[in-house]
């Protein structure tokens, strides 16, 4: 799970940091002032699936940009 270090989304206590999730999801594609996170396609898929599990566990709707990755 070392690829998840490229997509930080937990607080120091281990809880999901929901305020950070939109930025984490955006980091897959990059933005106007930041390139996408350097990760292999396999790492991206595994990370996207991991993030999707958090949404499912919390009964939150899956963001469209995240759904497009899995």
The predicted-structure confidence for 22-69, as pLDDT tens digits, reads as follows: 988 888 887 777 778 888 888 889 889 999 999 999 999 999 989 998
Residue 47, number of CB atoms within 10 A of its CB: 25
Q: Which residues contact 34 (CB under 8 A, 6 or more apart)?
A: 27
The domains of the chain are located at 2-67
To the question of pTM greater than 0.85 for the whole model, the response is no
More confident residue, 23 or 5: 23
In degrees to the nearest 10, what's the CA dihedral of 47, 40, 23, 9?
40
3-state secondary structure 38-49: CCCHHHHHHHHH
């Amino acid at each position: 799970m070392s690829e998840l270090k490229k997509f930080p989304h937990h607080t120091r206590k281990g809880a999901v940091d929901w305020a950070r999730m939109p930025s984490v999801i955006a980091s897959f594609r990059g933005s106007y002032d930041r390139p996408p996170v350097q990760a292999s396609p396999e790492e991206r898929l595994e990370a996207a699936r991991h993030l999707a599990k958090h949404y499912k566990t919390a009964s939150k709707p899956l963001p469209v940009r995240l759904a497009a990755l899995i």
